[in-house]
Amino acid sequence: MTQLARTIGIRLKNAREEAGMTHQEVADRIGLTAAGYGHYERGKRLPPVDQLIKLTGVLDRSINYFLDLPADHNDLGADEEEWLRYFRAIRDPMIRQTLLRMARAAAYPGE
């Protein structure tokens, strides 16, 4: 088990749990068995690039997140990163839209 496999595994587990998904749900979305996906999370195997790309979409994270590289969000500050992480964790589209309307109103009052 390599350090990279461990890092990706930890990041996969964190992202999956934040998304409120099970091993099986993630595995189904990327075309694997739950056991196969579990090998990735436990750092037993490195996901191939095509699987990693699928996982970025399923778990709403960047490749940089999984590879433990600096975030590429046009130099967002720590508080902006935190807001983005919380927003991404919200799955209810109505709540997301409400928050966006509130943010627009706060940023551009009177418009």
Predicted pLDDT of residue 43: 93
pTM over 0.75: no
Helix ranges, the chain (H): 3-18, 23-30, 34-41, 49-58, 63-67, 78-89, 93-107
Residue 38 has pLDDT above 60, yes or no: yes
Fold for the domain defined by 3-67: 434 Repressor (Amino-terminal Domain) (1.10.260)
Predicted pLDDT of residue 22: 95
Predicted pLDDT of residue 69: 77
Residue 55 has pLDDT above 60, yes or no: yes
Question: How many beta carbons lie within 10 A of that of residue 14, not counting itself?
Answer: 14
Predicted pLDDT of residue 46: 93
Beta-carbon contacts of residue 66 (< 8 Å; ≥ 6 apart): 7, 8, 11, 12, 15, 52, 55, 56
Domain locations in the chain as residue ranges: 3-67, 78-107
Give the pLDDT band (50/70/90) at residue 25: very high
**% of residues, the chain, pLDDT over 70:** 91
